[in-house]
Structure 1
Amino acid sequence: MKPVLSIEFCISCGYEKRALTLMETFVRLYKNDVSSFNLIPSSGGAFEIKFEDLLIFSKRSEDRFPITEELLRTLDEKIRDKK
């Protein structure tokens, strides 16, 4: 079974566009490797990215937004490990 990739994002903080743009990149690059791409509206400043049940980035923990290149490196590694 292929893995699931999700982005939880804060609606009241206005993070929708950032989440959508990042998810578009994920879909374009990983459409053959991931079974489901989920956008999860949330609150409280959330911008959390999960691969399966593994949290691969947390804005709450890092106190910053992710750098796309760092996420892609991490996802490439996780997807390669799944194969």
Structure 2
Amino acid sequence: MTQRQPRLEIEYCTQCRWLLRAGWTAQELLTTFVTELGEVALIPGVGGVFDVRLDGELLWSRKDQGGFPELAALKQLVRDRIAPDRSLGHSDKKD
């Protein structure tokens, strides 16, 4: 089976029991980017990891950014890379 592009990965800490958070984040992104995302993968990790990558590019790291992403901000990061002309409605930046 070939990988579909773009591929979004959410690596989450199993020790911290963050599967539900990762699953919810994946669901929200798949609901928003119905036709733009090729696939979303949930990747079990350890050590407090909660990283979001798009085609290998790190978009969010809980350790680097000091917490979990706000969903609106994460949607903007994804949108800016895969559908830059698309409006996110109420989740969009206020300029």
Asked whether 1:9 is paired with 2:12, we answer yes
Residue 67 of structure 1 corresponds to which residue in structure 2?
70
CA RMSD across the alignment: 1.2
The runs of 5 or more residues in structure 1 that have no matched partner are none
Instruction: Tell me how far apart the structure 1 counterparts of residues 72 and 27 of structure 2 sit (CA, whole Å).
Output: 14
CA drift of 1:31 comes to 2.5
CA drift of 1:2 comes to 2.8
Runs of 4 or more, structure 1, over 3 Å off, are none
The runs of 5 or more residues in structure 2 that have no matched partner are 85-95
Residue 58 of structure 1 corresponds to which residue in structure 2?
61
Please say if residues 5 and 55 of structure 2, whose CA atoms lie closer than 8 Å, have aligned partners that are also in contact: no
Answer 1 or 2: higher relative contact order, Cα 8 Å, separation at least 6.
1
Higher helix share: 1
Q: Tell me the SS of whatever aligns to 2:52.
A: strand
CA drift of 1:35 comes to 1.1
**Cα offsets for 1:33-67 (capped at 9, x unmatched):** 11111000110100000011110000011121111
Question: Once the two structures are aligned, what percentage of the paired residues are identical?
Answer: 25
Give the TM-score normalised by structure 1. Answer: 0.90
Larger Rg: 2
